[in-house]
Chains A and B, each alone.
Chain A
Amino acid sequence: MTLMQTQRIEGETASTPIIEIDNVVKTYDGGTQQVRALRGVSLSVERGEMVAIMGPSGCGKTTLLNCASGLDVVDAGTVRIAGANLAELSDKTRTAFRAQKMGFVFQTYNLLPVLSAVENVELPLIVSGVSPREARARALEALETVELRHLGHQRPSQLSGGQRQRVTIARSLVNRPEIVWADEPTGALDSKTADDIMTLMETLNREHGLTFVIVTHDPGVGARCNRIVRMRDGLIVDEEVRR
């Protein structure tokens, strides 16, 4: 299996939506008042889709991404990833599930500054128990995919913003995930670099069938996705299928 051959979760069929979100509610305790971030959100994402979640600040976009990816737990409703109900998984299993099946891209890159680019990329493999040699080979392959193999031994501080985000993408790909969750992936980049990053993600989606769920403010990013889901006040208010 090559790097970009994503794994299929056991028991899953091609027609099953890879992400099924049903009536999810999430409330935060804001001290003096409760903040209802998600008020009953339902969403389904098919394998190989590239979905943009858009909306004004505070509408619940990132909360939805966190709940859907298992980074956060929901108060009510269910989240199924490839048929697996996240609420039924222990923290340990959910963590392992993330390590093996998901990739993450954040606006602020979240690379470990004390590790080199290739070490950052191989990190998810190492913690999953992959042998160091294989992890290094796959990390270099992932960097190759984002055209940064030659900068593998540089520290994040020695890379530009766009290069850092490419490393982040490489890290999100290295474990051959089924889904890549991206929270404002172009938020910290200039328009040219942002365009390059989006082109890269489009390519990965199109050529390798990777499922992308992208939270963004940027209409330009939304415009390059298959579908745009719009949110307001913790609810999905509109969906627009682009192509």
Chain B
Amino acid sequence: MKELFGLPMTTLAIVLAGLLGLALLSVAFIGLSNRTMFNFGLRNIARRGLQSVLVVVGLALGTLITTAAFVTGDTVDHSLTRDAYRLFGRQDLEISWTGEPQYFSDSGVAERGEQVFVNEAVVADLEEAFAGDPEIVAFQPMLRMTAPVTNLRTADAKPAILLAGVDGERLDRAGGLTLSSGEHVSVGDLREGQVYLSERAARELHAMTGDGLTIHLGDRVANVRVAGIVRDELASGVLGMSFSSAPGGLVLPIDMLRGLAGLEHGEISALTVSLDGGVRTTIDSAGPAAARIRAYLEGAGAGVFASKGGLPAEQPVEVLTVKKDLVEQAEFNGNLFTTLFLVLGMFSMAAGVMLIFMIFVMLAAERRSEMGMARAVGAQRGHLVQSFVAEGMAYSLLAGLIGVVLGIAASYGLTQVLLKQVGGDYFSLIEMKITAPSVVVGYSLGVVITFITVVFASLKASHVNIVAAIRQLPDGRRPPQRRRTRWKWVFAGVPALVVPPLGAWWLLRKGLGLAWAWILGPLGIVLGVLFIALGKSSEVLFPFALGVSLIPLSAAAIARHLNTPARPLWTTVGLVLGAYWLLPGNLHDRLFGEFQADIEMFVLSGIMIVVAFTLVIIYNARLLTSLFRGGEGAAAYAVTGGLVLAAGSAVGIAAALGDRADGMGELFYLVAGLLIPTAALAAVAARFPALTPALKMAVAYPLSNQFRTGMTIAMFSLIVFSLTVFSVLLANFDTAFLGGDARGNLDLVVTTNPESAVRDVPGALAEAGSPVAAQIAGSGRTTAGGGPILVAQAAPNASRGYYPLIGADRAFFSDLGTTLDAWAEGYSDEAAVWSAVMEDPELALVDGSVVGLSFNEAYEWSAKGVTVTDDRFAPFSLELTTPSGITKTVTVVGALRAQLPGRTWGGIYVNEAAYRELRGEPLYQRTYLRLEEGSDAGEAARLIESALAVKGVEAEPVQGILDDMKAANTAFNRMFQSFMALGLVVGIAGLGVIAFRSVVERRQQIGMLRAIGYQRGTVTLTFLLESSFIAVMGILSGVVGGVILGWSLLTSDSFTGGADIAFAMPWPEILVVIGASFAFSLAMTWWPSRGAARVPVAEALRYE
């Protein structure tokens, strides 16, 4: 990976290593200047071995997450770039006369509908012109054609193998071809009737060296023999990345292919350029070399493609830096991946920072009396900070190393195990890669974040009431400090305002002695207002929503300072924040206007919703103790009964709502899901009154330390929230885009290669006597897209880009029976739209991605400003311009429902007359079939291929295509979810820290409980229940927040682009998240809880 957030990784590594160095220097300074406090810190590490291990594990998690993100980015980057280099080999530039690169073919059958040949004479001209160019090694003319090929030994037939006719002598100048064994071979060595087969084609045909093959090229049939299996690359006819479905290649001398195809005038269909250097060393020279060729073609060589190549004079010729572009695209994708990982990892890192903070605050709590003693004998607060910083640095240096190792292991698990296991062949190109800058950045970032957090935690921990600390009494509320102005800090603070936080701290806090609330409160309010204004003016949601959130938080800080009671104050703030962030998207749009938002909103919304929920829980969860009522007989079950009634009502409402009201019924099921276990808990308390004190304490004890419990709940909540939102969104998108509707009523897509004689698939099947002919309920044909054409959307939206134009026959509109997802206002129904487009050449349909109803991975362009509401949109115009300059304007009146891959299905669909105006006579290469009810599409595809494969026909079941897409999506999603789930380890470790600490803090109480008759099991249960309370609150608040936000987003038109998504809860995934989080939490806290039960009673009672 070379860049992150636009910064070179090497620079980042140097900067972070520098910061790490500064941190180390500051610790070294402490060691040299105050050895006693340095030792005080370090020697504490050895005092409690187990706790130290837990601290190191907790601190290692941040580094683990950053390293895992970087190494995974490295791996993806490396795998994609390696594949790009593999694809091009020594082919660096492409000279194109068709308006698009010719290297990429992602479909089962090569679909370049318009083969435009030029004469080979242009190559000689170029070679002469660049004879003296030290960087240009060879011009590589090629002739490519697709044809059905049969392996005579195995009888395997493939409807499309790309025949690559190459010039052996010229190819040898760039190293020739490479056998699977690694040996270089030359096409010039092939004897009469021999060919090389690419590895991909060999796999498809189950062929090996020596096998005889039959090539069916139009009416011609040729028998050839395989002389060797060569690696997949452009020169061997494989035009696609490893994960693409591009056909395999067959290499033969160019003259032999011309002879097979009946071409007699030196035709070539592609021309590439090999530069001096190795496969990976020509990226820098590609641009200048392309510029020189471009300059020649525009200068001395202008018109050579017309005069010698036979191309129309107006046809532009472009020199494309194809290898460089694809490598850069691969690097960009790798960076995007890492960025996404880091953004998602921010949840875990935020939780990790909280954990580090909590660990050090708790370490300080444990040493309170020692710290009090140190202060009593003259140690300054700064000395205590120094000792903690020394200790923290020692922990974090070690934890960083462990984190790096675990991060690499996690990345291995994610990419090499999970991705490949779930994603299958699609991810076979993934190869582990670790680079030094990533490891340095991962380690340094983890350690520096830890260091900064430790410094802040130490500042908090160093506030010790000496007497209370020594006597182990509660600190109580600190008396208000006398405010006085310290002028030296005022004078120092004013110039220091160039670094605002430092200047403000010196001036306002240290100089003027203002309380933090009076500094941060007004600052927060001012910033909030500014952010809101910025958000409104730029129409970006992030600053707006941040501003809206800052204002109540800041105002509450001031109100609290003025002694407003904490509970109503923070509860109100929590409710206000929660209400804002969980506001249904459409309502937010109506209230505040529309905004643009990106993935950063995911992080901000998570943090704010978690803050809101945590505030409400911490200040109100005590109400839960009223569930554990005493009482006799039926009265004891009154609470249970009430809860069961409420749960029943929620189920009733949910059932009554069904799929209506934007799927709100699912939310009521969630409410019922929360009420039922609560009722069960109340029933247990009623049935076993002896558990009542334990249950009450389980709620009351954690709430007696709001800071610690709040942090842990927030940690859990944050991670569970992120997992839940992710699960909800992905499951709903999967259902919406790859579910039953995604087929759009289509069963099969049948593709014929350009040279195939078959144009009427149902007819050919009937002629061949295939049983599939009788199963066809509807069919329609389209062209295969050809090269994309220039599309310009009319003002005011005025978007421009390249997009495929697809011509369709009348049957496509009238007989096929595929469906629309949305259509233009003014049409009475769907049938009216189909009929209109069939007849009117001024109208068009588009695939759903053009109007934002689905995603298109293949093309960037989509229409702007089209709002789909209740499946209707305002019709809009597109001006279409072909490479040869023909222009036509069409009006888009419908969006197709089917969600096939963008490269196959993406396009602007026009009728035959409109297509003829723009691109001439349509060549219908693709036939869509709708089968009779109950037909087996998979079996039908197999039968079609067995009947027509040698005629260049390939059939795929639409559901199969969708299933493959779903599998690939699932693999990616699982990887992201697993990565985010790493954060759960942070929460669980946090819970473990609290549990261990609670046992230490409450040894005396444990002794007392045992003295008055608590059995060991009851003590264990008490502590387990406490941890469970924290975990359950965190998990449930995360789930509830995540589900509501997911629902709010999925029912928001601005988020879905108007796509009709019936909200559904991914219950199994949600239950797994809840169950796994809780089970691991229990497992973690079982250990200290059991330890609590084994505390020797007499020893505990005298413990101080």
Q: List the interface of chain A (C-beta within 8 A of B).
A: 62-63, 66-67, 69, 71-72, 91-92, 95-96, 98-100, 103-104, 106, 108, 110, 112-115, 119, 123-124, 126-129, 131-133, 136, 171, 175, 183
Q: Which of B1018-1057 contact A (CB under 8 A)?
A: 1018
CB distance from B711 to the nearest CB of A (A): 19
Contact for B1008 among A67, A106, A132, A133, CB less than 8 A: A106
Q: Is the CB of A133 within 8 A of B693?
A: no
B48 at the interface (CB under 8 A from A): no
Given contacts A114-B701, A132-B631, A132-B692, contact A123 B1098 (CB under 8 A): no
**B36: A residues at CB distance < 8 A:** none
A121 to B221, CA, bound (A): 100
**B183-222 near A? 1/0 per residue, CB < 8 Å:** 0000000000000000000000000000000000000000
Q: Apart from A66-B1097, A110-B1007, A126-B690, what are 16 other A-B pairs with CB-CB below 8 Å?
A: A67-B1098, A71-B1097, A71-B1098, A91-B1016, A95-B1014, A100-B1013, A108-B1004, A110-B1101, A112-B697, A112-B1005, A114-B697, A114-B701, A115-B697, A124-B1013, A127-B1012, A131-B689
Q: Is the CB of B630 within 8 A of A136?
A: yes
Q: Interface on chain B toward A: helix, strand, loop, or mixed SS?
A: helix
A/B interface sample: 23 pairs, CB < 8 A: A63-B1098, A66-B1097, A66-B1098, A71-B1097, A72-B1097, A95-B1010, A95-B1013, A95-B1014, A98-B1012, A100-B1013, A104-B1011, A110-B1005, A114-B697, A114-B704, A115-B700, A119-B693, A126-B693, A127-B1013, A129-B690, A131-B632, A132-B630, A132-B632, A132-B636
B697 nearest in chain A by CB position: A114
CB distance from A129 to the nearest CB of B (A): 6
Contact for A126 among B689, B1004, B1097, B1101, CB less than 8 A: B689
**B1018: A residues at CB distance < 8 A:** 127
A72 nearest in chain B by CB position: B1098
Given contacts A71-B1097, A110-B1005, A115-B696, contact A128 B1013 (CB under 8 A): yes
B1015 at the interface (CB under 8 A from A): yes
B1102 at the interface (CB under 8 A from A): yes
B495 at the interface (CB under 8 A from A): no
Q: Interface on chain A toward B: helix, strand, loop, or mixed SS?
A: helix
B568 at the interface (CB under 8 A from A): no
**A175: B residues at CB distance < 8 A:** 1013
**B1004: A residues at CB distance < 8 A:** 108, 110
A124 nearest in chain B by CB position: B1012
**A128: B residues at CB distance < 8 A:** 1013
CB distance from B459 to the nearest CB of A (A): 28
Q: Is the CB of A171 within 8 A of B693?
A: no
Q: Is the CB of A113 within 8 A of B693?
A: no
Q: Is the CB of A71 within 8 A of B1013?
A: no
B1096 at the interface (CB under 8 A from A): yes
Q: Which of the listed residues B631, B703, B1014, B1097 has the most CB atoms from chain A within 10 Å of its own CB? A: B1097
Contact for B1011 among A67, A98, A132, CB less than 8 A: A98
Q: Which of B687-720 contact A (CB under 8 A)?
A: 689-690, 692-693, 696-697, 700-701, 703-704
Q: Is the CB of B689 within 8 A of A104?
A: no
A136 nearest in chain B by CB position: B630
**A108: B residues at CB distance < 8 A:** 1004
**B1005: A residues at CB distance < 8 A:** 110, 112
Q: List the interface of chain B (C-beta within 8 A of A).
A: 630-632, 636, 689-690, 692-693, 696-697, 700-701, 703-704, 1004-1005, 1007-1016, 1018, 1096-1099, 1101-1102
CB distance from B1015 to the nearest CB of A (A): 5
B688 nearest in chain A by CB position: A129
**B704: A residues at CB distance < 8 A:** 113-114
Q: Is the CB of A99 within 8 A of B632?
A: no
**A171: B residues at CB distance < 8 A:** 1012
CB distance from A90 to the nearest CB of B (A): 11
A101 to B1014, CA, bound (A): 14
A110 to B1012, CA, bound (A): 11
A71 to B1010, CA, bound (A): 8
CB distance from B1029 to the nearest CB of A (A): 12
A126 to B1008, CA, bound (A): 15
**B690: A residues at CB distance < 8 A:** 126-127, 129
CB distance from A241 to the nearest CB of B (A): 28
Q: Is the CB of B697 within 8 A of A126?
A: no
3 nearest A-B pairs in the assembled complex, by CB-CB distance: A99-B1013, A132-B630, A114-B700
**A127: B residues at CB distance < 8 A:** 690, 693, 1012-1015, 1018
CB distance from B1079 to the nearest CB of A (A): 27
A96 to B700, CA, bound (A): 26
A114 to B709, CA, bound (A): 15
**B692: A residues at CB distance < 8 A:** 126, 132
**B632: A residues at CB distance < 8 A:** 131-133
**B636: A residues at CB distance < 8 A:** 132
A172 nearest in chain B by CB position: B1012
A233 to B701, CA, bound (A): 40
A37 to B777, CA, bound (A): 97
A127 nearest in chain B by CB position: B1013
A100 nearest in chain B by CB position: B1013
A157 nearest in chain B by CB position: B474
Q: Is the CB of A132 within 8 A of B1013?
A: no
A103 to B1013, CA, bound (A): 10
Given contacts A108-B1004, A133-B632, contact A98 B1013 (CB under 8 A): yes
A128 nearest in chain B by CB position: B1013
Q: Which of the listed residues A91, A103, A114 has the most CB atoms from chain B within 10 Å of its own CB? A: A114
A140 to B674, CA, bound (A): 36
A221 to B1012, CA, bound (A): 24
A15 to B630, CA, bound (A): 42
A103 to B1012, CA, bound (A): 7
A128 to B1011, CA, bound (A): 13
**A104: B residues at CB distance < 8 A:** 1008, 1011-1012
